Structure 1
């Protein structure tokens, strides 16, 4: 039997009404309180729900029966009977987060209390806009599920990240696998057999960082994803910002340069054309052709070098890699300065694979911010590196799926 079956039957019953609807609403608010604030007593929940102790007790007992909530025992009291503490049962349900990258896939499993239970990173994969690539994605996910120590029916939802234009609300991807009439999330859902949600990779990474990473009390935050491309996630007043059609955050496609380099979006002069990981690889290979040397060529021919090789070389103090990171970092910083002048955020987080080089990318960005952003605005903005690193996308995808399934939004 699926964990918390009764609650989820009620949750997906479109015909529920009257008292049953009110009870379901109180259960949803109770779950939301446990999920966002933490464990609570009956008295705490009475205040939160503006409901009586007998009513709340009945609801809690029903959720315990559904295996969604558990009794964590008595707590200390200033007087009278010691109250019991209630909260989500960790094994009530699990959520998958799948991050699809250009050359690999990362997959993680969290429990209902946001604990990362299992993680598999850098599973070999090649992202192409083809049916074969989609089939392989489904095969990788299915293999991960088959290896889990829990039964499949314990997995209540799955979030999948893809780069490009994704409509989270409808489940359509307009950059990859757009060759079915049905939304991509429904196609994958039918193949895997788990409720599936689709999200843009940068927004999912941003959400992971907002919920479990570098964000503390800040409510207005920009997350910059530096990888083969450049993306952005935006938090405004504590909420993930999507824009009217769900395509916000295309920072990499600002027409920033007067060059003749064609971006993968089909236009010329995009910020990505001179600052992305793809641009870094192109610049690196050109320097090698011109006679520069690098430790990255010890194990690979120049034409075989990928972004990860350059980043690892920089971490190992390779001069060419560091110099090129400084060059693109200065240009990225100019772009972020523009964003700071427009948004006046409390915090800017630098994430994605390029952020793994630490100060080699952060310092030129910071220098450019000081040079190009308005000082009054810049003084109010912190600049941090991602705290979650490669786990940001996995956490974001699984947490977004958790929020949707548990109706926490």
Structure 2
């Protein structure tokens, strides 16, 4: 099997010029075609790339030597000699995805043919803007890579999702771990030794869902990440919309309410202040202080230690307080989403993130609010679905983004 540096050579234009540069570009085009269309013949590749059959054969043979492509055998033909089918090699290389939540981390390994090889869910972790929290994140990633069932040298890149403002082009994080002048991606890459890319968590989850979840032929889709905050991924005409600086989708920070609650962003009245996981926990604590009871406080759980997962677990076990609070924030989220539907007129609206695990307890009040507050002609054209991937959405998204970055270098 080809060594890592040989594979990297295909995706790098360093020290390449003239014919060598053109050949690398053609190889990447060939790989992208196989990536999109699956196994195919030399003749079809030649036609698609608009180059001669001998040239295509030469490029394919070089990619076979690199370990990226293989001959999958003959295909039946209507006449003449049977042609060989060529396709990507699953275990040629791999990509790691790291989805960082507020209190845990999900990690996964993707192969070259975009299949999830392994995934580790809900590794305990507390996301804080401290050096200690960053160090713990690095140790968790190192531990995951050390335990992988594949050779570490075959891991070409890592994708890491963080909440808040992330520049996926420069690798800077403006919400977490911005302690040094260098991009966070470079700091992590130097520590781990594998090329690293950053992405906003909601965009990564949306991308995972767009590629591998509920999206089929739809071209205009909104994905709502309902967690401690509220994020948004936007698909317009089949492409993820980033905005000029890459910070699109800050849905949770629309000044929706006339209240004095200070949001995490520092402003008052944001949608997140009354329609998010953080507001759900705050309301839960207030109700308990007023004398309400809940089975979320099981096993001597202290009120100050309550997390979103505790309330979700309680709701899914018919805890009335949790269900009532979910209905309240669902109605408010629905009002916000009604505004987005009126603006974007999407084909599909996907509810994802941790809160979506409550199913109809959140979906039904959101649906009711959409019917009430959005224009009926627009609303009737929009499907409302729960995330198909669930916890896998962020991991799949970060793996695929890490893969795409390498393939497009």
TM class by shorter-chain length?
over 0.9
Question: Match for residue 48 of structure 1?
Answer: 48
Q: 1:330 aligns to what SS in structure 2? A: helix
Mapped pair 1:331 → 2:307: no
State the Cα distance separating 1:19 from its structure 2 match: 1.6
Question: Match for residue 249 of structure 1?
Answer: 249
State the Cα distance separating 1:387 from its structure 2 match: 0.5
Mapped pair 1:151 → 2:151: yes
State the Cα distance separating 1:335 from its structure 2 match: 0.3
- Answer whether contact 2:10 2:28 (CA < 8 A) is retained: no
User: How many residue pairs are counted as aligned between the two chains?
Assistant: 408
Q: 2:170 aligns to what SS in structure 1? A: coil
Structure 2 unaligned segments of length 5 or more: list them: none
Question: Match for residue 312 of structure 1?
Answer: 313
- Answer whether contact 2:2 2:66 (CA < 8 A) is retained: no
State the Cα distance separating 1:15 from its structure 2 match: 3.8
State the Cα distance separating 1:2 from its structure 2 match: 5.9
Q: 2:384 aligns to what SS in structure 1? A: strand
- 1:9-65 Cα offsets, whole Å, 9 max, x none, are 253233422222221111111111111221111122112111111111111100000
- The worse-fitting range, judged by mean Cα deviation, of 340-349 and 7-16 is 7-16
Mapped pair 1:162 → 2:162: yes
- Answer whether contact 1:255 1:270 (CA < 8 A) is retained: yes
- Answer whether contact 1:230 1:251 (CA < 8 A) is retained: yes
Q: 1:165 aligns to what SS in structure 2? A: coil
State the Cα distance separating 1:3 from its structure 2 match: 4.0
CA distance in 2, matches of 1:282, 1:274: 9
- 1:156-204 Cα offsets, whole Å, 9 max, x none, are 0100000000000000000000011110000000000000000000000
Mapped pair 1:272 → 2:272: yes
Q: 1:263 aligns to what SS in structure 2? A: coil
Question: Match for residue 355 of structure 1?
Answer: 356
Q: 2:178 aligns to what SS in structure 1? A: coil
Mapped pair 1:176 → 2:169: no
- Answer whether contact 2:2 2:65 (CA < 8 A) is retained: no
- 1:272-319 Cα offsets, whole Å, 9 max, x none, are 000110100010111111111111122212222111000011111111
State the Cα distance separating 1:146 from its structure 2 match: 0.8
- Answer whether contact 1:4 1:67 (CA < 8 A) is retained: no
Question: Match for residue 322 of structure 1?
Answer: 323
Question: Match for residue 374 of structure 2?
Answer: 373
- Answer whether contact 2:13 2:21 (CA < 8 A) is retained: no
- 1:119-177 Cα offsets, whole Å, 9 max, x none, are 11111111111111111111100011111121211000100000000000000000000
- 1:196-252 Cα offsets, whole Å, 9 max, x none, are 000000000000000101100111111100001110111111111111111111000
State the Cα distance separating 1:79 from its structure 2 match: 1.7
CA distance in 2, matches of 1:377, 1:18: 53
Q: 1:120 aligns to what SS in structure 2? A: strand
- Answer whether contact 2:13 2:24 (CA < 8 A) is retained: no
- The worse-fitting range, judged by mean Cα deviation, of 301-310 and 127-136 is 301-310
User: When the two structures are superposed, what TM-score results if normalisation uses the length of structure 2?
Assistant: 0.98
Question: Match for residue 191 of structure 1?
Answer: 191
- Answer whether contact 2:97 2:159 (CA < 8 A) is retained: yes
Q: 1:173 aligns to what SS in structure 2? A: coil
Question: Match for residue 26 of structure 2?
Answer: 26
CA distance in 1, matches of 2:107, 2:11: 27
Query: Any residues of structure 2 matched to 1:85-104 within 5 Å, and which?
Result: 85-104=85-104
Question: Match for residue 394 of structure 1?
Answer: 395
Q: 1:406 aligns to what SS in structure 2? A: helix
Q: 1:172 aligns to what SS in structure 2? A: coil
State the Cα distance separating 1:253 from its structure 2 match: 0.2
Question: Match for residue 240 of structure 2?
Answer: 240
CA distance in 2, matches of 1:388, 1:68: 28
- Answer whether contact 2:2 2:67 (CA < 8 A) is retained: no
CA distance in 2, matches of 1:203, 1:42: 36
Q: 1:187 aligns to what SS in structure 2? A: helix
- Answer whether contact 2:4 2:154 (CA < 8 A) is retained: no
- Answer whether contact 2:10 2:27 (CA < 8 A) is retained: no
